[in-house]
Amino acid sequence: MSGALARPGARVVIAGASLAGLAAARTLRTEGFDGELVLVGAEPHLPYDRTMLSKELLLGEVQEPRPLVDAAELEALDAEWLLGRRARALRADVREVELDDGRRLRFDALAIATGATPRRLPFAALDGVATFRDLDDARALRRALVPGARVVVIGGGFVGLEVAAAARHAGAEATIVEAAEQPLAPVLGTTVGAVFARLHREEGVAVHTDVQVRALEGRDRIERVVLEDGRMLAAEAVVVGIGAQPATSWLLGSGLALDGGVVCDERLATAIPGVVAAGDVARWHHPGLDALVRSEHWETAHEQGAAAARRLLHGPGGVAPFAPLPFVSSRQYDQILHVAGWPAPAAELVVLDGDPAESRLTAAYVAGGQVRAVLALNDPRGFRRLRRALGDGAPLAALAGATA
């Protein structure tokens, strides 16, 4: 164990008590840290499986998401949990985190895992207009998804599409409004986006693309969404799913570099000694891409929390650079999409097998002569082979063989 954490009575504060923060806490304990451990979480809930919110929970398949920690592990972690509390400021000069209730937490090491907050539209707030990020959001939306309800989803990303699918499953009317040419286009390109636009239209969803929202109107509660081209969409519920921004406002003036997240080196260390970052809030130097990147994927947050804790425990010489292969899956109706790697809309989409028109394909994203990501729609077995090959650094020709 390195540095300050080797001292008796050392204290680690983890700002953020979701997956990345929990993974950091677990790793600290399992790899030998026996000092004080404090987790600060903005939500009043212990960590839970957030991936279930827009899938199983909204679909009514479960009443509550799966908890990520049980009573036995809580005892083993021997941590102080400060839930329903937010970090308000980092005072690096005195090694303290100030909370929103005025309490100040001294630390010897700090892991920043405060995640991201949903982007909002710059319109007046109305009842029935919500973002979708946490358990309380999901519970409220599930109550609104009733037969005949008119639900407008602003934003055609993964969460927006899953919310629209859940609305149709509940018998509600659903409309998607997307500013880009197709849903998912900013992430996966227009070819894949067109597949999902067609899928949702076939399921009875009205999909409006290449258009932005001008206003949300109603007296006290949402009544209609006004588009830039003048069209009006009646609505009893609106879900704003236009992405998220890293939760870094509490770090202004701390001395940390903030540029689309907390800027870290390839081992997740910040410029302040003994301070690391992990999860949606971290923007770190990826050695394979030679660029600063940020990932909002669940699996990456888990791996990153553990890697950041190891950086605190073992120092820069005791850990490898963090170079994950991000993975995300999305279930909409009876369609299952899997993606691994770092896709980019500007990359060339090379179809390896199947046909986008038939909603079954495996494909690779190629940029600069390198395979950056792989994708499979309704082919989980083929995806597993592609993912392994991509992780091994296989060239495009080998990936094509992996689908056979």
pLDDT, tens digit (0-9, with 9 covering 90-100), for 44-90 = 999 999 999 998 999 999 999 999 999 999 999 999 999 999 999 99
> What's the mean pLDDT in 295-301?
94
Domain 3-117+245-318 class in CATH = alpha beta
What pLDDT, on a 0 to 100 scale, did the predictor assign at position 9? 83
Q: What is the share, in percent, of the chain residues with pLDDT greater than 90?
A: 85
pLDDT single digits (tens) 157-169 = 999 999 999 999 9
Pairing of strands 109-112, 104-106: unpaired
Is residue 2 very low, low, confident or very high in pLDDT (cuts 50, 70, 90)? Answer: low
Is the Cα torsion angle 309, 313, 315, 316 positive or negative in sign? negative
Stretch (H or E) spanning 399: helix 396-402
What pLDDT, on a 0 to 100 scale, did the predictor assign at position 131? 93
Q: What is the 8-class DSSP label of residue 170?
A: T
> What's the mean pLDDT in 96-122?
96
**265 CB-near residues (< 8 Å, 6+ apart):** 284, 285
Question: Measured at the alpha carbon of residue 93, what is the angle toward residues 90 and 99, in degrees to the nearest 5?
Answer: 25
- Of 54, 38, 33, 136, which Cα lies nearest the Cα of 87? 38
Highest mean pLDDT, choosing among 242-246, 354-358, 367-371: 242-246
Looking at residue 5, its amino acid is L
What radius of gyration do the chain's Cα atoms show?
Answer: 22
**Least confidently predicted of 3-7, 143-147, 297-301:** 3-7
Q: What is the mean pLDDT of the chain?
A: 94
Count the alpha carbons within 13 Å of 383 in the hemisphere toward its beta carbon.
19
Is residue 369 very low, low, confident or very high in pLDDT (cuts 50, 70, 90)? Answer: confident
Q: Is residue 394 scored above 90 in pLDDT?
A: no
CATH annotation of 120-242: 3.50.50.60
> What's the mean pLDDT in 178-206?
96
Cα(60)–Cα(142) distance, rounded to whole angstroms?
8
DSSP reduced 3-state for 55 = helix
**124 CB-near residues (< 8 Å, 6+ apart):** 216
Say what the alpha-carbon torsion angle 388, 50, 15, 328 is, to the nearest 10 degrees: 20
pLDDT single digits (tens) 207-234 = 999 999 999 999 989 999 999 999 999 9
The full length of the chain comes to 404
Is residue 396 very low, low, confident or very high in pLDDT (cuts 50, 70, 90)? Answer: confident
What pLDDT, on a 0 to 100 scale, did the predictor assign at position 360? 86
Q: What is the 8-class DSSP label of residue 58?
A: T
**CATH 3.30.390.30 placement within the chain:** 334-402
Q: Is residue 358 scored above 90 in pLDDT?
A: no
> What's the mean pLDDT in 278-304?
95
What pLDDT, on a 0 to 100 scale, did the predictor assign at position 123? 79
| Residue pair 268/311 in contact by the 8 Å Cβ criterion | yes
> What's the mean pLDDT in 281-294?
94
CATH annotation of 334-402: 3.30.390.30
